[in-house]
Structure 1
Amino acid sequence: MIDHISVSVSDPAASKAFYEAALAPLGYRVVMEFGPVTALGGPMPGAPEDAPVPPDLWLTPTKDPTPCHIAVSASSAEQVDAFHRAALAAGGTDNGGPGERAHYHPGYYAAFVRDPDGHNLEAVFHGAGGGE
C-alpha cells in the first residue's frame, strides 16, 4: 500500500488552491504546510470521524514539473461527479468526464481532470454498477 506521494508543482499557491477545491468533495483538506510545501489528506476508510487525517498527497515546488497521473479514491459515483464539477470550477481542464470505464473492470466509475501543471488527476469509485 502506498502511504503518500509527492507531486511536483510550478506554482505552489495556485496548485494548493486547485487541489484544495478539487478534492474537497472527497473529504480532502490541507493538513500540513512547510513554507511552499503543502500536504493534503482525506478521511481513512473505516476510521472514526475524529481520527487524525494523515498527509498522503504532498505538493512540492519545482521549476519544470513532469506531468503524472494521480488517482484518488471516492466512496460513491456522486463523489466522482462532485469532484469533476469542483475541479473544473477550480480551473482544471476536462480530461474525461464522469462515467463507467468497464474496460478497466465492471463498476470502475471515474472522472479525469488536468491540473494547472498538466497532471492527470482522477477520482475513482470501484463499485458503480456492481451493486453499490
Structure 2
Amino acid sequence: MFDHVKFGVRDYAASKAFYLQALAPIGVSVVGEGEPAYGVELSAGGESSLCLFQTTEAPAHLHIAFVAQRREQVDAFHRAALAAGARDNGPPGLRPKYHPNYYAAFVIDPDGHNIEMVCHAPA
C-alpha cells in the first residue's frame, strides 16, 4: 500500500534496535543507513520500507500496522516487541469487530507509537 513511512524518533539507537527486534519475525532488516539525522531504512525485501531518523521534535503519536502472512508471525512479533522493551497494547488474538479473520497484536514503542502486526488469513 505504501512505498515508505518515515518518522522521527527521540533515541535513534534504541528505536532502531527496537524495530529490528520486533519486526524480525517478518524478515525486516536494514537496507540502507546514513547519519542518525538522515536515518535508517528497514524493509523485509519488498517494495515498502520503514524509515526512522533522530529528531528533537515531539512528533505526534502514530499507528502503524505491519502485515503478517501467518498468525504465528503476529505471536512472534508480540513476544519480540515486549522483549525489546515495548509495552503491551493488546495481546495476539482475533479482532472480529474489524472482520472475522483479523488476527492482530498491538504494542507501544519507545516513542509512544501504537505498533500493530496483523494477519488477515484464516487460521
- Pair 1:125–1:55, CA change in 2 (3 A): closer
Q: How much has 1:93 moved relative to structure 2?
A: 0.4
Q: How much has 1:106 moved relative to structure 2?
A: 1.1
Distance 1:119 1:23 in 2: 15
Q: How much has 1:61 moved relative to structure 2?
A: 1.8
Q: What is the count of residue pairs matched by the alignment?
A: 120
Letter in 1 for 2:6: S
Identity of aligned residues (%): 57
| Aligned pair partner of 2:40 in 30, 38, 41 | 38
Distance 1:73 1:43 in 2: 13
- CA RMSD in angstroms, aligned pairs only: 1.2
Letter in 2 for 1:100: L
Q: How much has 1:55 moved relative to structure 2?
A: 5.8
2:92 corresponds to 1:90: no
Gaps of 5+ in 1: 45-53
With structure 1 as the length reference, what TM-score do the two structures score? 0.86
Distance 2:100 2:79 in 1: 24
Which structure shows the higher strand fraction? 2
Distance 2:67 2:78 in 1: 13
Counterpart of 1:125 in structure 2 is 119
Which stretch shows the higher mean deviation, 32-41 or 1-10?
1-10
With structure 2 as the length reference, what TM-score do the two structures score? 0.92
Which aligned pairs between 1:1-132 and structure 2 lie closer than 5 A? 1-36=1-36, 37-44=39-46, 54=47, 56-63=49-56, 64-129=58-123
